[in-house]
A and B are shown apart, each in its own frame.
Chain A
Amino acid sequence: MIVSLVVVLPLAGAVLGLLLSRRPHGRGPAENLAANKRAAWFGVLPTALSTALIGWLAWENTPSTSVLTVIDTGGIAITAGLEVAELSVLTAMLVGVVALAVQVYSVGYMRGESRYPSFSAFISLFTSAMLLVVFAADLLVLYVGWEIMGLCSYLLVGHWWEERANSRAAIKAFLVTRLGDVGFLFGIFVLGFAAGSFRVADILVADIPESTLVLATLLLLAGVAGKSAQVPLHTWLPDAMAGPTPISALIHAATMVAAGIFVVARLYVLFPQPTLDVLGVAAAIGMLGAALAAFAQTDLKRVLAYSTISQLAYMAAALAGGARDAAVFHLVTHGAFKALLFLCAGAVIHHVGSNLLGHMGGLRRPMPMTFWAMTVGYAALIGLPPASGFFSKDAILYGLERSSSPIQLLLYGSALLTVGVTGAYATRAWLMTFFGTGKIQALPEPAPGTAHVFDGREAPLSMLWPMGVLAIPALLLGFTDAGEFHLAPALTALVVALLGAAFVYVVWRGAPERDPARLLGAFRDPCEQAFYVDRLYAVVFVRPVLALARGVVRTDDHVVDGAVRGTGRAAVGLSGLTRHLQNGNAQLYVTGLLAGVLLIAVGAVVLG
């Protein structure tokens, strides 16, 4: 009962926000302001209520299932129901808190934006969909939420669609995740038909042969790789940074990309070793590659995007190595600190009026609150004690160290290396944003695609509050699981991370004006281009598909439509010949008639 309210409340907020925000209708500045105010209430209140209800669920802590109805399909029935389990409540708590923070934050971030009502409504819709995924008792219900999230991601990435690049990024995000979702849907079908039911609880205990499981989970993995931006379907995430920053915080850092990891964790007992090995190899490549790519990026949000890919690969590696609880733990802490980092980045971008690290610097003094909040976020990202990331990374490394996976060495080595690179890129971004000399040039007019520009002031309160609130879990969440703490891997990781950080610091100290990414030397360009994966895909997939599409258009235009147009033209041409007979002289017509009658008569006599 409560759980359905949790899911439905943000949905109701979205519907009301879309329908009622602009009533009475008007497009003037005053009406815009009133509409934004109403939309803010429609956005914040349901999410807050929903989060409070999730808190209640967590307090009660009793697993339960509530079924609305069973849809009889003639084949396997679909159960429209919600299930409360420990993992669901934990993830839902993360979703609720981050969504609430983002809703409040975007009130300040999108102030004066004429399309804010639809923006906040889509965030609400997204929140509802994610909660549906989290609580779904049936795989097909889960899939519904999964697809709505994809749609919301598309709508929100393309929020500033006036810029061509933004709408292209939105389409790219949509298409790439859709590619994975095809596999996901078929994975659901295979699982459902093998188990004879789409209910998660039934599937988890069903007796399914190993080969079927491998096939089904590999198909599911395609969807997971698409949503969670894992190699090889990760390319959409950095481009999705074209969306407004609150969206990057909500969707592309804390929640939607976590959905893939969540699904694997939810169905973990189904995943046989071969599938986990595939996941592990992708994760091992992804985490190190993305971390290196993050080190060379010049755009602050892209740094964070690649960092997200890298951290998600961490969780995937933990899952592959058998450390499910560690992966879920990192999922939650990462959601908190990455959302915090993005919100801070949004405040910085708001202040500077540019995404580029090269335009920032020396922001420690004008934005002290943001500085401290972001420092907490980076500390958690690097894994410095006592921030939450320290504990969750320790749990993952401990799990990987003990793992019995055949690719344990690859996973562990890659994870350890990534810890070092993470320390390096986080330190680089931190130093380049907040230290050194300020390079802010006051822009006369904000470029399209950026929010309006302040100068010389800290972000507004509605943006500072969510940052402050998120900084608390980012800092302290680790202690909830501190009983599982292991000193040796923690120290190893800490030393490696500090080595990376110190290395960057020394290089930066030598010449604060220059980008520490020069450390990479000749390797810098490949890293900045993310190892040319995008270009490779462009050559291998995008161009052939575009050529094919053009061919289809041409065929349609010339062959199919040509046949239709040709029929018309032929009829007109032929009638051009006969129309000369219609000269209006009735006597000529009668002559023709008579000749015809005579012909028929003669014919009848001769042939008859």
Chain B
Amino acid sequence: MHVVYPAVVAALLFSIGVYGVLARRNTILVLMSVELMLNAVNLNLVAFDVWLRDMLHSGQVLTLFVIVIAAAEVGIGLAIVLAVFRTRKAIEFDRLRELGEP
């Protein structure tokens, strides 16, 4: 299989993720979009690891790392979202702008 196919899929995935981060109002969806972007990276790592025939398979090792970190990140992120929801009764991104200049 040519490396272009996974690369294009990864690029598409990443773009969807970027769109989600920049455009969605729901914080949980934004978190999910971040996951999409991470997985696009994972896909790239695995594909290029195979294509380059890396003897140490560092791409695949790194992918495992990314998956672990992503799990942790989602855990923390969801906890924050829960806390925010408890105090504000809202998780819409554009309603959380206390730090903005008036």
User: Among the interface residues B23, B97, B100, which one has the most CB atoms of the partner chain A within 10 A?
Assistant: B100
Q: Which residue of A lies closest to B27 (CB)?
A: A586
The contact sample of 27 A-B pairs, CB cut-off 8 A, is A579-B101, A580-B101, A582-B99, A582-B100, A582-B101, A583-B97, A583-B100, A583-B101, A584-B96, A584-B97, A584-B98, A584-B99, A584-B100, A584-B101, A585-B93, A585-B100, A586-B93, A586-B96, A587-B21, A587-B22, A587-B93, A587-B94, A590-B21, A590-B22, A591-B22, A594-B18, A594-B22
A294 to B77, CA, bound (A): 98
A586 to B97, CA, bound (A): 8
Residues of B within 8 A of A591 (CB): 22
User: Among the interface residues B22, B23, B101, which one has the most CB atoms of the partner chain A within 10 A?
Assistant: B101
A320 to B18, CA, bound (A): 102
Contacts of B62-91 to chain A: CB distance below 8 A: none
Of all A-B residue pairs in the complex, the 10 with the closest CB atoms, nearest first, are: A584-B100, A584-B97, A582-B101, A579-B101, A583-B100, A584-B99, A591-B22, A587-B22, A585-B97, A585-B94
Q: Which residue of A lies closest to B30 (CB)?
A: A587
Chain B interface residues toward A at CB < 8 A = 18, 21-23, 93-94, 96-101
Shortest Cβ distance from residue B58 to the other chain A in the assembled complex, whole angstroms: 24
Q: Which residue of A lies closest to B98 (CB)?
A: A584
A461 to B44, CA, bound (A): 114
Residues of B within 8 A of A584 (CB): 96-101
A583 to B22, CA, bound (A): 15
Q: Which residue of A lies closest to B25 (CB)?
A: A587
Residues of B within 8 A of A587 (CB): 21-23, 93-94
Residues of B within 8 A of A583 (CB): 97, 100-101
Residues of A within 8 A of B23 (CB): 587
A580 to B21, CA, bound (A): 22
Chain A interface residues toward B at CB < 8 A = 579-580, 582-587, 590-591, 594
Residues of B within 8 A of A582 (CB): 99-101
Shortest Cβ distance from residue B84 to the other chain A in the assembled complex, whole angstroms: 12
A585 to B99, CA, bound (A): 9
Q: Which residue of B lies closest to A591 (CB)?
A: B22
Main secondary structure, interface of A, reads helix
Residues of A within 8 A of B97 (CB): 583-585
Residues of B within 8 A of A594 (CB): 18, 22
Q: Which residue of A lies closest to B100 (CB)?
A: A584
A590 to B18, CA, bound (A): 10
Residues of A within 8 A of B94 (CB): 585, 587
Shortest Cβ distance from residue A607 to the other chain B in the assembled complex, whole angstroms: 24
A584 to B99, CA, bound (A): 5
Shortest Cβ distance from residue A65 to the other chain B in the assembled complex, whole angstroms: 79
Residues of B within 8 A of A590 (CB): 21-22
Q: Which residue of B lies closest to A576 (CB)?
A: B101
Shortest Cβ distance from residue A313 to the other chain B in the assembled complex, whole angstroms: 77
Taking A580-B101, A586-B96, A594-B22 as known contacts, 4 extra A-B pairs with beta carbons closer than 8 A to each other, sorted by chain A number, are A583-B97, A587-B22, A587-B93, A590-B21
A587 to B93, CA, bound (A): 8
A580 to B100, CA, bound (A): 9
Shortest Cβ distance from residue A407 to the other chain B in the assembled complex, whole angstroms: 84
A590 to B17, CA, bound (A): 13
Residues of A within 8 A of B93 (CB): 585-587
Shortest Cβ distance from residue A593 to the other chain B in the assembled complex, whole angstroms: 10
Shortest Cβ distance from residue A361 to the other chain B in the assembled complex, whole angstroms: 81
A522 to B23, CA, bound (A): 100
A579 to B102, CA, bound (A): 9
A583 to B96, CA, bound (A): 11
Shortest Cβ distance from residue B57 to the other chain A in the assembled complex, whole angstroms: 28
A586 to B31, CA, bound (A): 13
A586 to B23, CA, bound (A): 11
Residues of A within 8 A of B98 (CB): 584
A584 to B92, CA, bound (A): 13
A586 to B94, CA, bound (A): 8
User: Among the interface residues A580, A585, A590, which one has the most CB atoms of the partner chain B within 10 A?
Assistant: A585
Shortest Cβ distance from residue A405 to the other chain B in the assembled complex, whole angstroms: 86
Shortest Cβ distance from residue A102 to the other chain B in the assembled complex, whole angstroms: 72
Q: Which residue of A lies closest to B93 (CB)?
A: A587
Residues of A within 8 A of B99 (CB): 582, 584
Shortest Cβ distance from residue B40 to the other chain A in the assembled complex, whole angstroms: 15
Residues of A within 8 A of B100 (CB): 582-585
Shortest Cβ distance from residue B28 to the other chain A in the assembled complex, whole angstroms: 14
A584 to B101, CA, bound (A): 7
Shortest Cβ distance from residue B101 to the other chain A in the assembled complex, whole angstroms: 4
A580 to B22, CA, bound (A): 19
Shortest Cβ distance from residue B74 to the other chain A in the assembled complex, whole angstroms: 18
Residues of A within 8 A of B101 (CB): 579-580, 582-584
Residues of A within 8 A of B96 (CB): 584, 586
A590 to B30, CA, bound (A): 12
A580 to B101, CA, bound (A): 7
A594 to B21, CA, bound (A): 11
A587 to B22, CA, bound (A): 5
A590 to B21, CA, bound (A): 8
A587 to B18, CA, bound (A): 11
A314 to B18, CA, bound (A): 103
Residues of A within 8 A of B18 (CB): 594
Shortest Cβ distance from residue B26 to the other chain A in the assembled complex, whole angstroms: 12
Shortest Cβ distance from residue B9 to the other chain A in the assembled complex, whole angstroms: 21
A507 to B97, CA, bound (A): 99
Shortest Cβ distance from residue A590 to the other chain B in the assembled complex, whole angstroms: 6
Shortest Cβ distance from residue B93 to the other chain A in the assembled complex, whole angstroms: 6
A526 to B1, CA, bound (A): 120
A300 to B46, CA, bound (A): 112
Q: Which residue of A lies closest to B18 (CB)?
A: A594
